[in-house]
Structure 1
């Protein structure tokens, strides 16, 4: 799980980008299902079926993502003080299950086609449909990557990963149809099986990242080091320790201890803490920050508090 600093955005802008990405994903999946149903019916290609099944799983996963993102954007309430951001991790975990299921179904279809070969028809139509699917998927991925850079959403990141898988699937389908047109029909089920294995591998990646978020995995060491350096950059801060971090949706939860001079008035200590919070939040927008102040005279003993 990697967390990168992103360009600051307002909550309204973040919500707009997330809604745009999820609706674009659902619409794209629906469009691709329609054209691939036609292509499969006309060609009978197992790799076209592979691409169709992938798009069907995409549609269900994207709809799940849309609902999860809407839920995650709800403001904190009395029962969920840190908001509803983990709904996005749950959506990503659900996506991994959908994608793994499509991979297993595809593998069974590929084995059946290999044992019971059938000739492909209307290959030219299939090639045109898959080329169209590649162009539409590229456009969606460009939008999703823009949204990920601005929001850091794990649900959109998972959605983009399985659409990147689609891109590989569709490219392999083009190759299979092209070779079938040259008389190499036997390559169709083999590439279909290879695509299924690749989809299954992608599903494990998505599921692993979602589980790590749900289990409150710490941020990478580089991000943790940056947070401590940001805190220590305030002149009055004598040290920082006890950093704890986790991610909830696109929001970060950050807790740490500041070491301050023993004789500082409470009001001044409070102002220093606010300055540290502002500095961290400038680098990591949408973060929830909790800071505890320790007298510097406690030294290493404060590390265990």
Structure 2
């Protein structure tokens, strides 16, 4: 699809950057969590590992989405990105549930041990790196209208927020051990639970958004106004009777019914329809295809 092809290389590069960085962070957090005894840091390592799986899914989706339309997929393969977004979102929810389970066990077991200061340093590094990745991928996703890359960006932001929660919890647990405040020792486990809630919430929001697109939800009235204005600017179009614009990954497909003079010949009406389609696709780069139906215009209607 033309709107994604221009930035396909940038999207793939950004995804590979995410995979490499997340592999580094997963190893760093896992080793640091074991050495420092931080449950929150180990939970955060699982979150980073899920980012790697999500990025691989995005790579496959971008490859499929760039395939040209065929007999079985006349509107193209753009929704592969939305399917990828849904998979990443479900993955987030599963990871969040696992984190909640592993963190919650501490409340029914032995007295928690405060983590070492190494955990704090690793968490701070993770937050900084994840915020940079979020802004990098989010801007690219918006620039090239890549839903999968935008979902990946929010995956990084959720990791950053979960790391922030872990930072607070680890800090509280360290203070609890230093000043002998028993209830603060549970800060690390509480942070793990907070991480899980953040991850599940982000996953649910992304899954809901992707599902709406997959189920053919059309754009609202305000969003289609520019397309109506463009269609009505074509000579011969008396009115846009109906318009449905739906998202297919990084591009739009528009179905519209136009009211034209009923006295025009079929050939004249066909020319009007072709001009409307051409103008919509040239003026709005996100529009990949337009299906036009012509209705006889009646002043009484």
Normalising by structure 1, we get a TM-score of 0.88
Distance 2:71 2:7 in 1: 23
Count, aligned residues: 291
Q: Which residue of 1 aligns with 2:295?
A: 294
Relative CO higher for 1 or 2, CA cutoff 8 Å, sep ≥ 6?
1
Are 2:163 and 2:195, in contact at CA under 8 Å, matched by a contact in 1?
no
Asked whether the equivalents of residues 170 and 188 of structure 2 are also in contact (C-alpha less than 8 Å), the reply is yes
Gaps of at least 5 residues in structure 1 are 1-8, 301-305
Q: 1:43: how far off?
A: 1.2
Distance 1:72 1:176 in 2: 41
List structure 1 segments (4+ residues) > 4 angstroms apart after TM superposition.
265-268
Tell whether the 8 Å contact from 2:3 to 2:250 is kept in structure 1 after alignment: no
1:122 matched to 2:116: yes
Q: Distance in 2 between matches of 1:12 and 1:215?
A: 24
Q: Within 5 A, what are the aligned runs for 1:64-143? A: 64-116=57-109, 117-123=111-117, 125-143=118-136
CA contact (8 A) 1:114 1:190 kept: no
Deviation of 1:226 (Å): 2.8
**Deviations for 1:220-257, whole angstroms, at most 9, x for unmatched residues?**
22112332222123343210122122211111110001
Alignment of 1:202-241 (within 5 A): 202-241=202-241
Matched-pair contact (CA < 8 Å) for 1:250–1:286: no
TM-score, normalised by the number of residues in structure 2:
0.89
Query: Is the contact made by 1:46 and 1:113 (CA closer than 8 Å) also made in structure 2?
Result: no
Q: Secondary structure at the match of 1:182?
A: helix
Look up the match of 2:198. 198
1:4 paired residue number: none
Within 5 Å, give how 1:37-52 maps onto structure 2: 37-52=30-45
Q: Is the 8 A contact 1:39 1:48 kept in 2?
A: yes
- Residue 90 of structure 1: how far off its partner (Å): 1.4
Q: Deviations over 1:72-121 (max 9, x none)?
A: 11111222111111111211121122111111111111111222333134
Corresponding residue SS for 1:186: helix
Separation of aligned partners in 1, 2:77 and 2:57: 15
Relative distance call for 1:286 and 1:228 in structure 2 (3 A) is closer
Structure 2 CA distance, aligned partners of 1:197 and 1:292? 48
* Segment drifting more, 53-62 vs 176-185: 176-185
5+ residue gaps, structure 2, are 177-183
Q: Per-residue deviation at 1:273?
A: 3.0
What SS does the corresponding residue of 2:30 show, helix, strand or coil?
A: helix
Alpha-carbon RMSD? 2.1
* Distance of 1:286 and 1:28 partners within structure 2: 34
C-alpha distance in 1 between matches for 2:124 and 2:70: 47
Residue by residue over 1:175-230, the C-alpha shift from the partner in whole angstroms, topping out at 9 and shown as x without a partner, is 12222221232211112112211211111111111211111011122112332222
Distance 2:4 2:211 in 1: 26
Q: Is residue 178 of structure 1 aligned with residue 177 of structure 2?
A: no
CA distance in 2, matches of 1:171, 1:73: 37
By how many angstroms is 1:71 displaced?
1.3
